[in-house]
Amino acid sequence: MQEAVQDYINDKEIIEKILKLKEELGEKLLILTHHYQRKEIVELGDCRGDSFGLSQKAASDKDARFIVFCGVHFMAESAEILSQPHQIVQIPAFEAGCPMADMADIYIVERAWKEITSIVREEVIMPIVYMNSDAHIKAFCGRYGGAVCTSSNAQAAFSWGFDQREKIFFFPDQHLGRNTGNQMGILPEEMIVWNSGESFGGNTSEKIKKAKLILWDGYCHVHTRFRAEHVLKMRKKFPEAGIVVHPECTQEVIKLADAMGSTSFIVKYVEDAPPNATIIIGTEINLINRLAMENPHKNILELHYSLCPNMFKINLGNLLLSLESIGQLNVVKVPENIKSESKTALDNMLALNTYATS
Ligand code: 13P
Ligand code: SF4
């Protein structure tokens, strides 16, 4: 007991140790932090962003020897795929996964692809995979000519897909897929849900032939916690407020909100609002709290409390451990064959910016 007390160090001491190690490692170290990370983690990072911004950073940085990724596993994995061979990617908490990403298992996705392509020709269907997926799923997508997308470029990815093929097979997040389809004017009857537990996704061959958009049945438990009644309640209480929500929310919530957009869209929505504006946000609570703190002259409120427990697994203690064991602890490594095919799908996404504006 005595020893335990002696060993105990408080947050301030951990922060000091982290800062000292950061100084020692200098340019050799790059700490990337997702917007949903705890405040103290974001403050210790070198670069904060959404999943798209951080993957761009991982792809463009050639100098750092060590990239410590403070986010969930699929994000660190994407950074590893996009990084240079001399770079080592680490995640402070290996167990920080994403339940939605786990809803698309490669064997089940491959079985679904076989079923779909037994009804429609492979050449007419484009796989588009959400960044929130593991490397095997991204590799599958690359193998069949598809692209990765995030919530910040889903529409550009869908346009890119539809320019080449008649149909899109999108996974794992049905809500991002449906909300993007709605934005693009795809009719509800042209979108079908692929129930991953049933053969042919629970669809008739007629339905599969008619569908423009096939949506995997995955969802984010953090964003589907927001309900229409939360929007109605907050609207009544703050009629002058702007309500902005993430596209992983259900279409019922999105229809009632004023704006929908990715994490970086939400950040910009707050930045662009005039002083004293009231903004109600439907996304992960750590981002909302930080936006409130960084915008003291704006009234930033949560639509409802919702925390991502996986993002929360990264803390000062395991960040310090990562830095103390730099290059060794919780190293993220994607097998070479999976890496090259998943990189194709990620590169297709990174090229979308050019595509969307050209
Ligand atoms: P972003 O792509 O907006 O960073 O979101 C990632 C995510 O996991 C949202 O739940
Ligand atoms: Fe996954 Fe949802 Fe957490 Fe994002 S918020 S990492 S989609 S569980």
pLDDT digits (tens, 9 = 90+) for 122-141: 999 999 999 999 999 999 99
Surface-to-core class of residue 225, CB atoms within 10 Å of its CB (0-12 exposed, 13-18 middle, 19+ buried): middle
- Rounded to whole angstroms, how far apart are CA atoms 329 and 344? 28
CA of 3 from ligand 2 middle (Å) equals 38
Whether residue 44 contacts residue 31, with contact meaning beta carbons closer than 8 Å, is answered with yes
For residue 101, which atom of ligand 2 is closest to its CA? 1
What's residue 109's pLDDT? 97
pTM over 0.75: yes
- Confirm or reject: Cβ of 145 under 6 Å from ligand 2: no
What values do phi and psi take at 244, rounded to 5?
-125, 135
Alpha-carbon distances of 88 from 48, 82, 285, 343, rounded to whole Å: 19, 11, 30, 16
**Residue type, position 284, single letter:** E
pLDDT given at position 354: 58
Instruction: Give yes or no on whether 2-98+311-334 and 101-220+341-355 have one common fold.
Output: yes
pLDDT tens digit sequence for 7-60:
668 999 999 999 999 999 999 999 999 999 999 999 999 999 998 899 899 999
- Determine the length of the chain: 358
For residue 97 and ligand 2, the question of a CB distance below 6 A is answered with: no
Which tokens go with 4?
Answer: 């335990």
Given the candidates 1.20.1090.10, 3.60.15.10, 3.40.50.10800, 2.40.30.10, the CATH classification of the domain at 223-302 is 3.40.50.10800
**To test the ligand 2 pocket, which listed residue (35, 130, 132) has its Cβ within 8 A of the most ligand atoms?**
132
Q: Where are the beta strands (DSSP E) in 223-316?
A: 242-245, 259-260, 278-282, 299-302
pLDDT at residue 7, as a whole number: 63
Tokens found for residue 219 = 């969802």
- What residue ranges do the domains of the chain occupy? 2-98+311-334, 101-220+341-355, 223-302
In this prediction, residue 6 carries a pLDDT of 52
**Distance separating alpha carbons of residues 229 and 247, to the nearest angstrom:** 17
Number of the ligand 1 atom closest to the C-alpha atom of 151: 2
Residue nearest to atom 1 of ligand 2 (CA): 98
Which parts of the chain register pLDDT below 70?
1-8, 354-358
> What per-residue confidence (pLDDT) applies to 23?
98
Is ligand 2 within 6 A of the CB of residue 58? no
Q: Whose CA is nearest to atom 3 of ligand 1?
A: 263
CATH topology of domain 2-98+311-334: Rossmann fold (3.40.50)
**Which of 50, 245, 310 for a ligand 2 pocket mutation test, highest count of atoms within 8 Å of Cβ?**
310
Reduce the DSSP state of residue 225 to 3 states and report it.
coil
d(CA 31, CA 191): 40
Which residue of 131, 313, 349 sits with most ligand 1 atoms within 8 Å of its CB, as the best mutation to test the pocket? 131
- Which tokens belong to 26? 């200098």
Superfamily of domain 101-220+341-355: NadA-like (3.40.50.10800)
**Are the CB atoms for 54 and 90 separated by under 8 Å?**
no
